[in-house]
Amino acid sequence: MRTNLPYLIFGFLFFATTFSYAQISTIVGLTGNWENDSSWDGVNSPGTTNITYNNDITINGYITSGSLSFASIGTNTFELLIKDTLVVNGSLSFDANSINLKVDGLLVVLGDLDAGNKVDLSNSGNIAVTGDLTLPNNGNSDYTGSGSLYVDGTINGSGTAATAATSVQEPISNLDGTGDDSEQTLYDFITDPMVTTLPVELYSFNVLKTSNAVKIQWSTVSETDNDYFEVMRSIDGYNFKTIATIEGAKNSNELLSYSYTDYEAFDGTFYYRLKQTDLSGDFEIFDIKKITLGETVENVKAFPNPVTNGDLNIKVINSSIKGQLFVQIYDTKGFKVEERYFMSKEPFHLETLHFPNLKGLHIIKIQGDGLTHSSVIIFK
């Protein structure tokens, strides 16, 4: 599969580096979408529009995305570091003073690439842009590195970065028919109309209660070199174990349905997810589904879900619960990212908490005298 294409073609070697600040990265060896939280290692997707994540963002697998835009963060000390493969089916843009771009693997932009003032581009791998490449009209940005740059459109800009890029740029067509196997493989990859297509396109994924079990059902509309699925279960939403392995169809362009019945889920709340592995060993993890079994008494409710503006409402439903309540929010790796508390002074108390910086799937835990509650909340 395409996940490790740069490694196979160019034989890149990468070494782990320890940073003094947190960074986020996609899961090593995973084929997935940028927008999917399950593509990221213990954190949520940084989003796709006006990204202002103040850390390095590392691509370790074969990741596809629609258009991506990075907004100013007031400093350019952080990097979008592509160690493996990122395919952007649209435009890729960096505002002035946003994150830098460093390519050690392969970046394919099926559209325009636009880098603003004080955004540096470092290329020791391969960059292919089917549209235009726009760089600043000043000397505040650099284009460096010994990697290859292929641009089918125009290189715009009159600064040092544009001059440096123009001196090494080639059209993508120069890769075709050269007699070099690695160049031909790269050309075929870039021009493949399926370059943004993942090995498995999931049509549906549901978990259903039965009289004494949980039925997990999913269907696909296409499969390419799909070896098998793993059904995974968790009791907390972030520590998962595989409970079943289901053989895939290898290759298919038809609607196919799968199911598995879990007879070991008893009363309580459970979380399920699917992991798909292709014939080369690369894998993709799909999003989480939650189900509650047995009779439960709801003492508190957190809503809306998903949260769209950062405001999370917590309503105390059990009128006997009063006093101080602690609210803790964890990411999918189990790290606590937020902690608040409030006083429930009256029956059916309603509290609104603001979390403007949270994105993606999180676990919320609410505790107090006579109360323990946990659930999955998605922040958009």
CATH code for the domain in which residue 289 is found: 2.60.40.10
Task: Give the C-alpha separation, 6 to 142, whole Å.
Answer: 24
* Structural domain boundaries, residue 308: 300-379
Residues paired with residue 64 on neighbouring β-strands, in sequence order: 33, 87
Domain boundary among 191, 215, 230: 191
One domain, residues 236 and 359:
no
Output the pLDDT for position 83.
Answer: 93
Output the pLDDT for position 193.
Answer: 57
Question: Whose structure tokens read 């520590």?
Answer: 239
Q: 240 and 367 in contact (C-beta within 8 Å)?
A: no
One domain, residues 366 and 244:
no
Phi and psi based region of residue 139 (left: phi greater than 0; alpha: psi -120 to 50; beta: remaining):
alpha
One domain, residues 265 and 237:
yes
Please write the tens of the pLDDT for every residue from 101-126: 999 999 999 999 999 988 999 999 99
Q: 323 and 313 in contact (C-beta within 8 Å)?
A: no
CB-based contacts of 281: which residues, under 8 Å, 6+ apart?
29
Domain boundary among 277, 293, 309: 293
pLDDT < 70 stretches in the chain: 1-22, 193-198, 266-267, 294-298, 319-320, 332-334, 370
Please write the tens of the pLDDT for every residue from 147-180: 999 999 999 998 899 999 999 999 999 998 888 8
Q: 285 and 30 in contact (C-beta within 8 Å)?
A: yes
Q: What is the CATH number of the domain that holds 324?
A: 2.60.40.1930
One domain, residues 16 and 133:
yes
One domain, residues 268 and 318:
no
One domain, residues 282 and 252:
yes
**Closest C-alpha among 70, 75, 72, 76 to residue 91:** 70
List Cβ<8 Å contacts ≥24 apart for 69-73. 69/93, 69/94, 69/95, 70/94, 70/95, 70/98, 70/99, 71/95, 71/98, 72/96, 72/97, 72/98, 72/116, 73/97, 73/98, 73/99
Q: 168 and 145 in contact (C-beta within 8 Å)?
A: no
Question: Whose structure tokens read 């005298």?
Answer: 369
Output the pLDDT for position 12.
Answer: 33
Output the pLDDT for position 284.
Answer: 82
Output the pLDDT for position 126.
Answer: 94
One domain, residues 375 and 328:
yes
One domain, residues 316 and 286:
no
One domain, residues 342 and 244:
no
Residues paired with residue 259 on neighbouring β-strands, in sequence order: 217
Question: How many domains, the chain?
Answer: 3
One domain, residues 161 and 217:
no
3 state SS of 222: strand
One domain, residues 26 and 135:
yes
Which tokens sit at 52? 């202002």
In the chain the first and final C-alpha atoms are separated, in Å, by 31
Phi and psi based region of residue 28 (left: phi greater than 0; alpha: psi -120 to 50; beta: remaining):
beta
Domain boundary among 191, 226, 260: 191
One domain, residues 31 and 121:
yes
